[in-house]
Chains A and B, each alone.
Chain A
């Protein structure tokens, strides 16, 4: 929808230009969807021309302005050796498919925009948090800081970003990309907004990381030195998630989200406890 109070659109990615009443504009699909009657200026990041996806030996840097459509096609476009080395790339498509928004919106909407919106069900938050992604944040004072994505989203629609701060990119470390992963999601409707989204990961050192999103107001991560048994996993969830942390909105009652979290966590544990299926091309 129109943003009638906006009087200026400035193409800049410099936090020094930010002033109260401004909003960073990436894809715009959130700003223009919810509307506003207070915003005065839009600071357009897309003119910065950031490379959407940059790989190096340490991992993958995803620009905040990388569109969902670009992310979705990325795993299919990387060289086969990368795909084999980084099996966790398999999470990208199911996470994109967890958007309630259609593929048309993906042509415009961005990874950074989804994370900065801070929705409990934000699938880019799920993806980046599950893979221990780190956010590169640029601040108006000219400083730069790095924050784990799991700590960037702090509540329903709330982030740890200070006014004027800008999410530049997310870096997914190679250690996490090399992990074996399992993905589970439930929604109240077919292909609807996630009510529960869990991602499990076993790293090369045998450690297990479970990331709970959508069911809780903010991402919750459980870390185990090795894959726990069912009781250990249940106890870990009970310890990590206070009663008040279960999310409560039209996309699922808290009691359902809680039980589904336990259910899906156990499914993930069982999947990762079983031997890994052979790669489809049989080359390993």
Chain B
């Protein structure tokens, strides 16, 4: 058989059931990505005879004799090298920076490259087969339509102007051409003898494994090994990863003899192909002793409930009780009291790149694990602890990571490939399927938050009491951290003399929860911001005025669950007042414009709370807002180390530990370092996320890529600048004070020496022009986000239309406005999915029901309205060059702002996310008296 791929004949034969996607990857076109493997995400889009298809759905044998084009061959003259022409659509994605992690980009480009003008005019329809989880699609729209945003960081005088410039991401050219290497994009020749691992998963919510008969599996041709709990180390660990491993409960084994949720690992089969490993899994015979299971927190907390982990009394893995002031007195003094319970659902991250890793051995005999992680250094430490290895004998690295959102602050594949590789002394790969992502990785913690809050007639918040139950699922991983963090800034942002928090995180026999963008704050802020809105309404106050009156102002003590504020959290800057004003002003302006006011819709005339949306046919319009505060760095240690040196080519080489998964920190590091070195960002060459590069980095979580790792990079660059000037002074026989650093040279008294020559001279002299920087993640500052919506709700169908969406962010000095805006837009889009329709559903037996992307809908282009983003004008005294974190936090105020708008429009408080159309409609119907339609439709 012959296949033509990118104008070249390939002599290869796919197997009969093979899809084109895996066949193309076997032929080395690794730009063809797997996002879902089921035709939903479009990351694998290629052209067959010029027409775009999802290669994961395309039988490979059908491509025989046809012309196949992948991202690598899109541009005229396949085999691009630097400087060669790009396809116009590739150039447009570069110019608009229509990507963040970039995992979807090849598919986006391959799809959009086929569009005519008519198709470009209807992107909601024509891009519905291309999912992006990072950007919120505005950047993609701009790319497809040819709007340029990136800019050079050269000022008008020719000097550098780095911080504040929309410098392009360094990886851009690799991303738009498909050359960027994600976790599993390793050419086959680099990993001879690679084996593949597949997992047998538990069909029971709680069971003891009595026996595993592996004989039939071992007889499957190609199967090399079967691994069970008998092969696994006894060492308990937590899949959660933090600077202090003692923060997370050690309750997990690599393979356990007891399974505690449906989907948990039972055994692993290692074989020379994925298909053989899967056949081996099917051939395993396991005897289970079924154990009693608890499937929700109520059952788990009931007296005498079975223990998910023996010895954990009452199944409570972590709890928190605090009582500041006198809540009962505060409620008694209130003129308005609000009491309600708010529920936040289980969510999946849906990073487009699934979890995956490869364990192999290097020439030194070290175990090398290449993995899709946010925390390579912590993964190394955990592997060493579990397998009893020395740090020096293990290297962990991440390629480019295809999205994280907290899901990759977790060891979910690395331990198994390490176990298999150590046993077989061969390289082993594990790639999770999209279904495994849904059924066996981690999720956002479901929260139930009972709020009691009171306010006095003058608008003073007099009491805030919270009773919180979080469901951590079968393992405790991030349970304590999420619970504590959730109850932190959400409570501390309000000045209130009387605050009480009772919180617990509970084991159940369900899929484990874990770290998720917001880390507990989104669930708590949903409850608290909904309650604040109710208090304001009860008092007849504008909800924004109510917040202005009660939020912390600059200098106020930030108190949440301890009488004293955290010692190391300071107002490095304060922009909440500006954010409130920006949103208030924008919403007011929106009321005056027909396209955002709702005037263009046929709005119900009977818009009154008491009528409960009586008009069945009309659009009800309302506004809602919410605020969110976040500490710029997580507590309890977050450490970064960076190294920088002058390279022989005259550019700077910066090594950092933190990972790049679309957060854009690589660009920010280049901008920070180049500013210190008076050069342009493109002259800073960054290597990252590899334990061989630097001493340590806690990792990219808690929005630390800029404010911790960036601070280390900046410190290193500043020190190198001093060293460099000192050395250069010796070249000019002057003092360092008179030496200036230029973009590509040093200058003294009109004399210039190119940096490459400086590097050569230093080498001759035996001078080491390199420096290091470290930052320990403390003291910390606070960042703020305020979201505002105006929505129209159709009482007859439950549809919510977002008429206006505005968001104000206090990110300190914005190092790269283009990227920061992208982070915020992406956070809002992800939060809209969470607020409107996303939900991981688990049935009464503990089986995850939402197993594919068609059952777990994530926002498509058509689902995401444009949001106008405003930045507060602040300059943080603690962050690098005045910057603050802005990764997780834009997510947090979105659901409550939407709930408050829904309340304003309909008079009904929706206390459970998501606000799906069916639930909104039924909520309105239940409130409608009498229910008009009931007469026509006999009860069923």
Contacts and interface: CB of A to CB of B under 8 A. Distances in A.
Interface of A: 1-9, 25, 27-29, 32-35, 37, 39, 41-42, 44, 46, 97, 100-105, 107-109, 186, 188-193, 195, 230-231, 234, 237-238, 242-243, 246, 249-250, 252-253, 255-260, 262-263
Nearest to A196: B797
Nearest to B859: A189
Contacts of B855: 249-250
Contacts of A192: 857
B57 A107 contact: no
A6 B797 contact: no
B22 A2 contact: yes
Given A190-B863, A238-B937, A258-B937, A1 B433 contact: yes
B940 A246 contact: yes
Contacts of B278: 4, 37
A36 to B, nearest CB: 8
Given A108-B53, A250-B855, A259 B19 contact: no
A27 B863 CA distance: 28
Contact of B940 (A27, A39, A105, A258): A258
Contact of B17 (A6, A186, A231, A252): A6
B817 interface: no
B125 A1 contact: no
Nearest to A104: B52
Interface stretch (B502-510, B593-601, B913-921): B913-921
B51 A195 contact: no
B753 interface: no
Nearest to A36: B17
A102 B131 CA distance: 11
B193 to A, nearest CB: 20
A2 B17 contact: yes
Given A105-B53, A253-B922, A256-B918, 4 more contacts: A32-B39, A34-B852, A109-B57, A230-B936
B38 interface: yes
A262 B936 contact: yes
B54 A104 contact: yes
Nearest to B856: A250
Contacts of B916: 188
Ranked 10 nearest A-B pairs via Cβ: A102-B129, A6-B17, A4-B275, A3-B17, A256-B918, A243-B940, A1-B37, A9-B16, A190-B862, A253-B918
A238 B939 CA distance: 9
A9 B42 contact: no
A105 B57 contact: yes
Contacts of B18: 2-3
Nearest to A249: B855
Contacts of B936: 230-231, 234, 262
Contacts of A97: 125
A101 B39 contact: yes
B129 A256 contact: no
A105 B129 CA distance: 8
Main SS of chain A's interface residues? Answer: mixed
Contacts of B234: none
Interface string B44-63: 01000001111011110110
B274 A2 contact: yes
B418 to A, nearest CB: 25
B854 interface: yes
B38 A2 contact: no
A250 B16 contact: no
Nearest to B918: A256
B288 interface: no
Contact of B58 (A28, A35, A37, A190): A28
B444 interface: no
B751 to A, nearest CB: 60
A249 B837 CA distance: 13
Contacts of B849: 250
Contacts of A8: 16
B538 interface: no
B940 A6 contact: no
B922 A32 contact: no
B25 to A, nearest CB: 11
B438 to A, nearest CB: 12
Interface in B84-129: 111, 124-129
Contact of B126 (A103, A259, A260): A103
A85 to B, nearest CB: 28
Of A3, A109, A243, the most chain B CB neighbours within 10 A belong to A3
B52 A107 contact: yes
Contacts of A237: 937
B275 A2 contact: yes
Contact of B57 (A33, A39, A190, A234): A33
A120 to B, nearest CB: 13
Contact of A262 (B45, B841, B937): B937
Given A105-B57, A243-B940, A259-B937, A100 B854 contact: yes
A252 B862 CA distance: 19
A238 to B, nearest CB: 5
A109, A186, A230, A231, most chain B CB atoms within 10 A: A186
6 contacts: A1-B433, A2-B22, A4-B278, A5-B275, A102-B42, A104-B52
A28 B59 contact: yes
A9 B57 contact: no
A42 B919 CA distance: 42
Nearest to B940: A243
A249 B273 CA distance: 36
B279 A5 contact: yes
A259 B128 contact: no
B39 A105 contact: yes
A34 B917 contact: no
A250 B850 contact: yes
B940 A7 contact: no
B22 A32 contact: no
Contacts of A3: 17-19
Nearest to B111: A104
Contacts of A250: 839, 841, 849-850, 855-856
B863 A9 contact: no
B370 to A, nearest CB: 22
Given A2-B274, A250-B855, A105 B54 contact: yes
Given A28-B57, A101-B129, A262 B933 contact: yes
Contact of A189 (B39, B130, B857, B933): B857
B282 interface: yes
B309 interface: no
Given A39-B17, A100-B854, A190-B863, A4 B274 contact: yes
Interface in B905-940: 916-919, 921-922, 925, 933, 936-938, 940
Most A C-beta atoms less than 10 A away, residue of B40, B54, B127, B796:
B54
Contact of A7 (B16, B852, B918): B16
Given A234-B937, A250-B850, A256-B917, A191 B58 contact: no
A191 B860 contact: yes
Contacts of A102: 42, 54, 126-130
Nearest to B18: A2
Contacts of A25: 59
Contact of B921 (A7, A9, A101, A259): A259
A106 to B, nearest CB: 9
B921 A107 contact: no
Contacts of B127: 102
B798 interface: yes
B918 A195 contact: yes
B937 A2 contact: no
Nearest to B858: A189
A145 to B, nearest CB: 29
A108 B51 CA distance: 10
Contacts of B836: 189
A165 B331 CA distance: 71
Given A1-B19, A1-B37, A259-B937, A188 B922 contact: no
B70 to A, nearest CB: 14
Contacts of A103: 125-126, 129
Contacts of B854: 100, 193
